[in-house]
Structure 1
Amino acid sequence: MQTEKVIDHIVNWLKDYATNANQKGFVIGISGGIDSAVTSTLCAKTGLDLLCLEMPIHQAPNQSDRASRHIEWLQEQFKGVKRQPVELTPVFDSLVTAFPAIANEEERFMSLANTRARLRMTSLYYFAALKRYLVAGTGNKVEDFGVGFYTKYGDGGVDLSPIADLMKSEVYEIAKALGVNEEIIKAAPTDGLWGDDRTDEDQIGASYPELEWAMKMKHQGKTIDDFSDRKKEVFSIFMRFNGINQHKMVAIPVCQIPEVLR
């Protein structure tokens, strides 16, 4: 990958899109992870306004600390970068108490994890509307179009996706070129929806390099019978997530009314 040229391409694309949309800049949620760090830095390089939201919900301290230090670094490097803390923990807790209890606690736990992401999306659009900013998405290609590892109308609810055509490995390459803090580059990827240190790999069962490989194999038309041992397991994991999350990757189904019924 021609890293510097890709960076310039994304920055110019972001700036042109915002200018053509008559928007003044971008708003983004900073999680302390690699994707939001790279996306926010690319947005800052446009020279347009950038509002960085910190939105903890029972967040692990190491995630919040990394996010805070990244924003400080952005403000040292670029003009027009502002930060806005939004403490969503009490909002989330109030919402939880408003929901009826259910017998299946595991299903409830999963639904509440997605609720966290949707509260953050709501917060981003509140400030976007106030400031005339665009909500910048942080999903990469493996997450968005491979395994669908994001929350529909949560972190998937954005105005534009600057890094969604980049594999996770390419995001890391760009991070190094941009000078993103080493602690973020070395941190294990996590979605931050659980209030603990569980990683993406813990949840998915495969690492991002493995998922990138499986995604490439699928595009080459391979099937599970082409592999054995760990490769077979990884390919099976990828195909399962890719299948169950197709509803996130395709347009919302519209019931078409036949003309004879009109």
Structure 2
Amino acid sequence: MQSQKVIDYIVNWLKDYAEKAGVNGYVVGVSGGVDSAVVSTLCAKTGLKVLVLEMPIRQKEDQVNRAKEHIEDLKSKFPNVEGMSVNLTPVFEKLYKTFDVDDEKFPAEKLAFANTRSRLRMLTLYYYGQINGLLVCGTGNKVEDFGIGFYTKYGDGGVDISPIADLYKTEVYQLSRDLDLVKSIQEAVPTDGLWDVDRTDEQQIGATYPELEKIQKEWGTKTEADYHGRDLEVFKIFSKMNKAAQHKINPIPVCDIPEEWRN
């Protein structure tokens, strides 16, 4: 990948979009992961106002530390960047009690409430975005957004613009090196940060991003019969998740009413 060309292209695309929309810049939620770090850096390079929010909810210390380290690094390099930490744990705990969550009795509640973390962050980003005249910038990559749907609908999927959604995870990591992000971010193991226990993306999905990317690049040109061994296992994982994620990947269905019935 020609990284510098990709970086310049995305930065100009972000700047042009914001100027045409008549906004001041972007707000980005950072988690201590590579996707949000790359996106916030690309936004910073536009020269427009960038508000970077760290929004811990029962967060692991290493994730919080990486996010804070990235924010401080970004602020030291770009005078247009402002960083904030908004502790959402008290709000989350209040909801937990209000909903009377019993994830032992009802396992589905565990996943539902994990997604609630992401949706709380979306609300927070839009609040700070609106009062500062900023657009919410998404951080999803191509595998997550259009391959297996590994994101929360109306959570981290609730954004105004998505600059790296056509980049694979391995390409995002390449950009992190070329953008000279802090080492802790470049070396961070991918995790969605939605669980009380450490659960990496690979543990949740059952495959690595490079394995998933191989299948996605061949998707539609090969069938299950073309794969064997580990590739077959990953194909089945990708296929199952892709099928289940169609309600995320495709536009919201609209019931079209026949025009003649309007008369």
State the distance in 1 between where 2:16 and 2:2 align: 21
Counterpart amino acid of residue 214 in structure 2: W
Name 1:198's counterpart in structure 2: 199
Deviation at 1:101, TM superposition (A): 4.2
1:214-233 alignment runs, 5 A limit: 214-219=215-220, 221-233=221-233
SS of the equivalent of 1:27 reads strand
Partner of 1:15: 15
Q: Is the 8 A contact 1:59 1:196 kept in 2?
A: no
Aligned residue for 2:252?
Answer: 252
CA deviation after TM superposition for structure 1 residue 166, in Å: 0.5
How does 1:44-83 map onto structure 2 within 5 Å? Answer: 44-83=44-83
- Aligned with 1:190: secondary structure? coil
TM-score after normalising by structure 1: 0.97
One-letter identity of the residue aligned with 1:66: R
- CA deviations over 1:105-162 (Å, ceiling 9, x no partner): 3100000011000000000000010000010000000110001100000000000001
Separation in 2 of the partners of 1:11 and 1:38? 11
Whichever residue aligns with residue 129 of structure 1, its letter is Q
Q: How does 1:74-223 map to 2 (within 5 A)?
A: 74-101=74-101, 104-219=105-220, 221-223=221-223
User: How many Å separate the matches in 1 of 2:156 and 2:85?
Assistant: 18
Give the fraction of aligned pairs with identical amino acids, expressed as a percent: 57
1:4 aligned onto 2:4? yes
Q: CA deviation at 1:195?
A: 2.6
Instruction: Check the 8 A contact 1:57/1:195 in 2, yes or no.
Output: no
Note the C-alpha offset of 1:104: 4.0
Deviation string 1:172-221 (CA, Å, 9 cap, x unpaired) is: 111111001111111110000003321000000000000000101214x2
Amino acid at match of 1:236: K
Task: Classify the secondary structure of the residue corresponding to 2:254.
Answer: coil
Secondary structure of the 1:36 match is helix
1:196, 1:18 → 2: CA distance? 38
One-letter identity of the residue aligned with 1:97 = K
Deviation of 1:2 (Å): 1.1
Q: Deviations over 1:35-55 (max 9, x none)?
A: 000000000000111111110
Q: Secondary structure at the match of 1:151?
A: coil
| Residues 101 and 89 of structure 1, relative CA distance in 2, 3 Å threshold | closer
1:240 deviates by 0.5
Q: Give ranges in structure 2 of 5+ residues lacking alignment.
A: none
Q: Is the 8 A contact 1:52 1:84 kept in 2?
A: yes
Matched residue of 2:63: which SS? helix
TM-score (norm 2): 0.97
Instruction: Give the RMSD, CA atoms, in angstroms.
Output: 1.1
The alpha-carbon distance between structure 1 residues 44 and 101, as it changes in their structure 2 partners (threshold 3 A), is closer
